[in-house]
Structure 1
Amino acid sequence: MRGLAGAIGVVVVALGMARAQTILPDPVAGVDMQMGNQAGLEAWVAEFRSRALAAGVSAAVFDAALRGVTFDPKVVERDRKQNEFSKTIWDYLDTAVSEDRVALGLKAIARHRDLLERIEADYGVEKEVVAAVWGLESAYGTYRGDLPVLGSLATLAYEGRRGAFFEAELIAALRIVEGGHVERFVGSWAGASGHTQFMPSSWEKFAVDFDGDGKRNLWGDDPADALASAANYLRHWGWTKGMPWGVEVRLPEGFDYDQTTERVVKPVAEWQAMGVRLVDGGDLPDHGPGSILLPGGHRGAAFLIWPNFQVIEKYNTADAYVIAIGSLSDRLKGGPPIRHGWPRELRALTLAERMELQELLGKAGFDPGGVDGRMGPKTVAAVKAFQKARGLVPDGYPSLEVLELLR
């Protein structure tokens, strides 16, 4: 879904794209460029009209909704540069699961307890989990975005880098307008909007009319439809009530770090036999087979995760986001913060450095699965193989140390 979670400082070491070259024009040239883009957008809207009507949007709604739509260069800039810089998971969590966010979440739950309990009963998703999504996506409804959704989507569809994707989202957004579900249609730069920052296509698939007024309104002051829609989304992807997303664990001396990946799934009894314990030393709870994850390398916190972790990934694939949702929901249930420290002396790699890391891994004979700046499973596996070959702890963490050894 990826909405305003970005507003709290998210671009964690996860996704990346080629760095766009930025040429700053002189003021006159900038005005000319803006005027040219506006004219181009207007021509694109005229050409797009037939496709939108063929998709079921009425001519009256199309003409009224897109009349006067303006090209927004800042939206294009955000799309091009969203992953140029990264934050470490600990810097992200410092904000995402701050004491203020926990306190505000407890107040939000108290204020909407009846609503959240009804949602939990109907959809089988714990109220604290729903509240955690709400807290990260819009700070419990206090910041839902301020950019016109139709203008942002039209700009991105016309600009063309991901034109087909944003055109489909724009058609879905026009259907929302046609149904009278929204009055003030504003959101984040990429078109996610509402209390729980749904993209228009997600609204079509998962939004519900929980308050029974005939509308699936995710944007108004009443959060009922939005919170129920988030629960419906998680239920659709297989949320299991009563199963933790994960628990913080302590790994024994001499642990085989090749086992720390979502691809390795073992019964809890097997992890227990290997010496894995809860961070306080207690026995592991058994919620079925799970995996060990080290999002900050072997010097950071370790987690035993279960399938609910992958369900949250459907909302946002970044490990830091998933752990933030899980940790925040645990805190809202009265649980402790993450106890293990983080290697705060390390910094995250920039996009250029992540791409260099992948290129050098490939040249050294460790296949990273391409050079795109994305620290996905293949790149992590390549880092592990390189670390193992150098006699380092093979935790797969793409650190500056690994990059410097490859250079």
Structure 2
Amino acid sequence: RGPLDAQSLVGSWAGAIGHLQVNPANVVAHGTDGDGDGLVDLHNSLADALATSARFLRGLGYQPGMDWGMEVAVPAGFDYLLASRTQLRPVSFFAGRGIARVAGRQFGDPNLLVFLYVPAGQSGPKFLMTQNYLVLKGYNFSDSYAMSVAHMTDRLKGGGGFADDWPRDTAFPNLSQRKAIQEALIRLGLYQGAVDGRLGPITQEAYARFQASRGEVADGFITRAAYEGLAAATQ
């Protein structure tokens, strides 16, 4: 369906190809001729690449007209254990607990299902995310990737930067320390996942429960201090 031969079909280390890095199986399933030349060429035609990725996202459940999410302000004393991406709740649920949009913006549909996302702890930007954000993670599972794409769409539409700054001087645990964090959470009965050093949502929620048990703000933000605290708690 495209002009490339085996020698020209060069991709990433993971096998993704083209302007927007789509894996071959999804090229076969969703490849689209965006420029009308009769070919699907993700390397040389940006129109084809964009049309293919758009079709792929629609296949994953992307809902046109729905934002990916919005930056919000969270009041002091908020229960961050409610920040779970496994349970989407209506905007009204969070608004009723004091969460508001930044810069004086108003919420739209109070019944829109969202989850609270706190990627950098209580001191960093916070967001109410829609199902469309999870769809972006279906395209690339990295939160950094999905967040970057989501924010770029706002900037392309004339939006500004985030209201809250991202922490710049945070010390994070290395791989062996991340595994030790998971092992400590297992010993404390808070985590049942793999010990792989990948600090995803399950590990973060387990650490948030540990924070709550100590009377700390349970934002689930895992830093090197988290490693030190868990090491002391499990000695």
TM-score over 0.5 for the pair: yes
Contact 1:360 / 1:406 at 8 angstroms: preserved in 2? yes
- Does the Cα contact within 8 Å between 2:89 and 2:114 map onto a contact in 1? yes
Matching residue within 224, 230, 234 for 1:406: 230
Does the 8 A contact of 1:272 with 1:283 survive in 2?
no
Q: Deviations over 1:7-53 (max 9, x none)?
A: xxxxxxxxxxxxxxxxxxxxxxxxxxxxxxxxxxxxxxxxxxxxxxx
- Asked if the contact 2:2–2:41 (Cα under 8 Å) also holds between the matched residues in 1, the reply is no
Deviation at 1:314? 0.9
CA distance in 1, matches of 2:226, 2:38: 56
* Distance apart, 1:395 and its partner CA: 0.8
Q: How large is the Cα RMSD of the aligned pairs?
A: 1.6
Which residue identity lines up with residue 187 of structure 2 in the other structure? K
Q: Does residue 75 of structure 2 align to residue 252 of structure 1?
A: yes
2:195 matched residue in structure 1: 371
From 238, 241, 245, the equivalent of 2:64 is 241
Choose which of 183, 189, 194 in structure 2 pairs with 1:359. Answer: 183
Structure 1 pair 180–299 and aligned structure 2 pair: CA distance change class (3 A): closer
**Which structure has more helix as a fraction of its residues?**
1
- Asked if 1:295 is matched to 2:132, the reply is no
Counterpart CA distance in 1 for 2:116 and 2:107 is: 12
Residue 387 (1) aligns with residue 211 (2): yes
- 1:309 and 2:170 aligned: no
The one-letter code matched in structure 2 to 1:362 is I
Percent of aligned pairs with the same amino acid: 39
In 1: Cα distance, 2:74 partner to 2:176 partner: 33
Task: Specify every segment of 5 or more residues in structure 2 that has no aligned partner in the other structure, as ranges.
Answer: none
Separation in 1 of the partners of 2:229 and 2:42? Answer: 49
Q: From the CA coordinates, give the structure whose radius of gyration is larger.
A: 1
1:189-208: CA deviations, max 9, x gaps?
Answer: 22211111111111111111
| Regions of 4+ moved over 3 Å | none
1:265 matched residue in structure 2: 88
- Quick one: distance in 2 between partners of 1:363 and 1:386? 12
Contact 1:207 1:216 in 2 (8 A): yes
* Cα pair 1:368 1:382 within 8 Å, conserved: no
Secondary structure class of the residue paired with 1:186: coil
**What is the distance in 1 between the residues matched to 2:204 and 2:133?**
19
SS at match of 2:70: strand
CA distance in 2, matches of 1:212, 1:283: 41
In the alignment, what sits opposite 1:99?
none
| Structure 1, unaligned runs of 5 or more | 1-178
Deviation digits for residues 82-138 of structure 1 (CA, Å, limit 9, x no counterpart):
xxxxxxxxxxxxxxxxxxxxxxxxxxxxxxxxxxxxxxxxxxxxxxxxxxxxxxxxx
TM superposition score normalised by structure 1: 0.54
Specify the code of the residue in structure 2 equivalent to 1:391.
G
Structure 2 CA distance for aligned equivalents of residues 304 and 190 of structure 1? 31
Q: Which has the higher contact order (CA 8 A, sep 6+)?
A: 1
Alignment partners' CA distance in 1, 2:202 and 2:63: 29
1:213 Cα shift?
2.9
Contact 2:124 2:164 in 1 (8 A): yes
Question: Equivalent residue for 1:206?
Answer: 30
TM-score under structure 2 length normalisation: 0.91
Q: Does 1:181 align with 2:3?
A: yes
**Once the two structures are superposed, what CA deviation does each residue of 1:140-180 show, in whole Å capped at 9, x if it has no partner?**
xxxxxxxxxxxxxxxxxxxxxxxxxxxxxxxxxxxxxxx55
